[in-house]
Chains A and B, each alone.
Chain A
Amino acid sequence: MKPIKRPDHPNRNVGPPPRWATTLLGWLGDPNTVEEVQGDLLELYAYWVKTVGERKARWRYTLSILKLLRPLAKRKPSNDYSQPFFLSPAMIRNYFKIAIRNLFKQKVYSAFNLVGLALGISCGLLLTLHIKEELSYEKGFPNHDRIYRVVSTEWSKSSPPLAGEMKPFFPDIEHITRFASRGTQVVNSEFNEQGESTGFYADSSAVPVFSLKRVAGDPVRALAERSSIVISRKMAEKFFGKRDPVGRKLIFDNKEELRVNAVIEELPENSHLKFDYLVSMPTFYKDVPENATNNKGWMFGWTYVLFRDKAGVAKAEKRLLDFFKQYYGGWPKDEMDGIMEFAKTVRFQPLTDIHLKSNLIQEMGPNSNILYIYVFLAVEILILVIACVNFINLFTTQALKRAKEVGMRKVLGARKMQVVGQFLGEAFILTILASLMAVFLYEIALPFYNDIAGKQVSGWEIARPENLIIIGLIVLFVGLLSGLFPSLFIARFEPITSLKADKLPKSSANALRKSLIVVQFVVSAFLIISTVLIYQQMNLLRNQQLGFDKEQVLVVKLYGKLKEKLLLNPDLFKNEIARNSAILAVGQSSNLIGDDLSVESVTPINPPAGKEYPSVKVTRVDADYLTVLNIKLKEGRNFSRQFNDSASFIINEKTAQILDLKNPVGAFVENKSMNLKGKIVGVIRDYNFASLHNQVEPLVLEYKPQWTGNLLVKIKPGNPQETIAFLKNTVENLAPNTLFSYSFLDERMAALYRKEDHMSTILNAFSGLAIVISCLGLFGVVAHESKIRTKEIGIRKVLGASVGSLVSLLSGSFLKLVIIGILIASPITWYATDQWLQGFAYKIDVHWWIFGLAGLVILAIALLTVSLVSIKAALMNPVKSLRSE
């Protein structure tokens, strides 16, 4: 069909001009005139079609365009309107003025917003500094990245000759040094100063490895001489005051006399290595028999290696097995397989891994766990997210009210980016204000935090440059996260709608606010439910049937003269104090509950060939030990003074099981580590002598009152102070000038779970905060909602709605969100806590009612928050609310 020609609109009926030419013009035409040229050409094309025909028109059209291509033309700056510099001081002043006016116009919202954010940021600060401190362990040593500890998969210690033979074998090793424990001892100076100090035996190479800084004397020479000691500056001040300590004597446990040859600077606080003094290794070699110091199977102490460079570690690790073949070369052939099995597990452990990633047998002290860092990091991020979400909610609500302002700004020529900048700037002003408040809150909270976390963070710590950078980063993160969305959202407002509308732009913002509330309550519910579960687990640990009685047991450490005199005739002293009616029983033991026990090899005599027995833990006790702790005998008898029990054993059920003893009582066994053969006289029920992280392990008790170092005193409940004073007096009479050092067994046991306790307390505090922040946000949003619906509520009231129905109307929709949040959080929490509980041998059952209960509590708090606002709204006089505009 031929197109009908309509002269008025010719281009509707004929084909369009060549499209490629039009496109070409769009690309390569002069950008300054392209609009009118395109228009003119279209118009002309229509005219040409009319006058000279379509074919010619197309030709002319194309030709004109080709002539008009200006491929190098650039857009000239338009000067239709003057565009003032967008950061002009006048505008900035205006932004500040408006920001401050808004802040004061809505005091309640601003306060909520600021407080919520400040709480969040101060939590963030605390946790960041905590994590930073945990991660800073060992970083104070200049060589920290080249220092490694020789460990196996099980043991943190190694044998005495190892270091000496390792050094020549590995050319990459610069220095190698050993530390052997001396424990805590009573020290006396020549000037009658007395105190408890803890230290190690150490090689002189400890000085270069750990970069020990000399204060006086020569620490290297001091650690190479016999009976010589290097003390820390603090210890020097304690024992010698202002006097020069070098050359003076210190007496340890009233028997060992050592000469102070050097003083060194304190070690960095953040280190697993903690000591007051170092005694030279030659002293150790002087005191310990040669067959022990040459024993390649004795895990005597910790060996640290300083490599020349980091690359040397991998090279050395490859040759480790060759080294051990040479090291254990002289050992009996039949034991070789076992030894090599062990040698395969030996590795170099980075110094920096010790604090967070190492939990081996006989560590120098309790280490932390990387898991807790993750937990704290997660809590920090969650709380910051809650606070940001809050901020987003309140800020968006606020900004919606300012739609008219945005419209007016746009009409007056503000660009989108300017509006975004303005609101983002306001968000940053609020964030900065909040972080100032947060620093203040942080300073207030720090003492409490130090207390519950067992840390020593100073308040000035925060002023250090790197911490200021952290604050800056938190402000940047929070400001961007919470300000970016609302500002982008607001900047999108169409000026016309926002100026005209009585109704504010709704849509996505509403849905978003609701989903943000759900997110907040997912996080809060997660934190609260897991806190409850952790609390339960901690309670279980505290009240678990331990198999012995830890209450009212006083532990007195035996030192020097006291130990000497007491061990000479224990019964004399025991009878003496037992005359006090408040003292029920007195026992002795080498180790306490929770201590790392000696690991020895105890087997039946003449075991079947090829049969291997796992090693057992051994404690030396006296006849009253079981009585004091009220440990029940399953069969057989207790140790007794009536018998010669020096070669008798009492074992626990677990040992009987691993030794395959059908009738343990009367069976003969051998302690190979001690070369002691004897008879089992009794079997005790398994009791938890270590922490409840582990199952009960095999335990053997030996009757060796002479080897004990602790006095266990069972006292009557009532007045412990009096009893302690009495004990102190008696000890004073027996051994004058001895330090009386005591503790309570249950307190010592609580220390076993201190890590978890700290975590539990911190989580308690922070999950409480999380719900507070969430509720602040909820409060703000509900208040906004009821304000918008003021008129609706008024009308409903006029038409006869009751206060109750209005409250449920207002609260219902929000409580629904809270319930959704709890429902989402429950399975996540269940999974997470289940993972955590895997780390315990004794754990709680996770019941569904815990979730229900915690959910109800959260719901109740939310209900309280919501009803605070909604009741107020519902009680309002309808006359007022209908009149309000």
Chain B
Amino acid sequence: MKRAFLGEFEEVVLLTVAVLDESAYGVTVTQEIEQKTGRAVGFSTVHTTLQRLEEKGYLSSKMSGATAERGGRRKRFFTVTAAGRKALMEVKSIREQLWDALPPQTLQLMGG
């Protein structure tokens, strides 16, 4: 089985795109990550990651929605593809398996 290789940041970006649903483009993704994770992410990092995810086929994009604020330039809106969803699900299930495998006392220790 071909496994999806998603880096941690890639996973965050992919998830964020999924969260933002229809309105995911460079700016919103950056802002969303900043707000949700509280860490300062560079726009360039987000942009590069989005490009990479599209190349991998987890995202598709189309151009639209020019505004005056952007100097008349269009936005590139991203949506998660079927492959992207599958990859996210896989990552999630791996995580869950791992969490499930965690002995309860350890969990309590951590929680404590």
Contacts and interface: CB of A to CB of B under 8 A. Distances in A.
Binding partners A and B:
yes
Interface of A: 9, 11, 33, 35-44, 46-47, 60, 63-64, 67-68
A33 B44 CA distance: 12
> By CB atoms of chain B within 10 A, which of A35, A37, A39, A47 has the most?
A39
B74 interface: yes
Contacts of B100: none
B79 interface: no
A39 B44 contact: no
Contacts of A68: 44, 47-48
B66 interface: yes
A41 B43 contact: yes
A67 to B, nearest CB: 4
B19 interface: no
B21 to A, nearest CB: 18
Given A36-B26, A64-B44, A68-B44, A43 B76 contact: no
Contact of B75 (A36, A44, A46): A36
Contacts of B43: 40-41, 44, 60, 64
A37 B30 CA distance: 13
A46 B69 contact: yes
A135 to B, nearest CB: 63
A60 B75 CA distance: 20
A78 to B, nearest CB: 11
Q: Is the interface of A mostly helix, strand, loop or mixed?
A: helix
B73 interface: yes
B69 A11 contact: yes
A37 B71 contact: no
The 6 closest A-B pairs by CB, nearest first: A39-B73, A39-B70, A40-B26, A67-B44, A36-B76, A64-B43
B26 A42 contact: no
Contact of B71 (A38, A60, A64, A67): A38
B7 interface: no
A43 B47 contact: no
B31 to A, nearest CB: 7
Nearest to A8: B69
Nearest to B77: A36
A43 B69 contact: yes
22 contacts: A33-B51, A35-B63, A36-B76, A37-B26, A38-B70, A38-B71, A39-B66, A39-B71, A39-B73, A40-B27, A40-B70, A40-B75, A41-B43, A42-B69, A42-B71, A42-B73, A44-B26, A47-B27, A47-B31, A64-B44, A67-B45, A68-B44
Contact of A39 (B31, B42, B45, B74): B74
B25 interface: yes
Given A63-B42, A64-B42, A64-B44, A36 B31 contact: no
Interface in B56-105: 63, 66, 69-71, 73-76
A42 B44 contact: no
Nearest to A9: B69
Nearest to A11: B69
A41 B27 CA distance: 8
Given A36-B74, A36-B76, A43 B27 contact: yes
A322 B47 CA distance: 91
Contact of B74 (A35, A41, A60, A63): A35
Contacts of A33: 47, 51, 76
B69 A36 contact: no
Nearest to B66: A39
B31 A40 contact: no
Contacts of A38: 70-71, 73
Nearest to A68: B44
Contacts of A67: 42, 44-45
Contacts of A47: 27, 31
A524 B42 CA distance: 75
Contacts of A60: 42-43
A484 B112 CA distance: 85
Given A42-B70, A43-B69, A46-B69, A36 B25 contact: yes
Interface string B8-31: 000000000000000001110011
Contacts of A37: 26, 47
Contacts of B25: 36, 40
Nearest to A40: B26
Given A63-B44, A64-B42, A67-B44, 20 more contacts: A9-B69, A35-B73, A36-B73, A36-B76, A38-B71, A38-B73, A39-B66, A40-B25, A40-B70, A41-B43, A42-B70, A43-B27, A43-B70, A44-B26, A44-B27, A60-B43, A64-B43, A67-B45, A68-B47, A68-B48
A21 to B, nearest CB: 12
Nearest to A32: B51
A39 B69 CA distance: 8
A5 to B, nearest CB: 15
A42 B30 CA distance: 13
B46 to A, nearest CB: 9
Contacts of B27: 40, 43-44, 47
A39 B75 CA distance: 7
B32 to A, nearest CB: 12
Contacts of A11: 69
A722 B74 CA distance: 103
A698 B43 CA distance: 105
Nearest to B68: A9
A38 B72 CA distance: 10
A41 B75 CA distance: 11
A678 B51 CA distance: 117
A439 to B, nearest CB: 56
Contacts of A9: 69
B69 A40 contact: no
B41 to A, nearest CB: 11
A846 B79 CA distance: 87
A33 B47 CA distance: 10
A68 B71 CA distance: 19
Contacts of A46: 69
Contacts of B75: 36, 39-40
Nearest to A41: B43
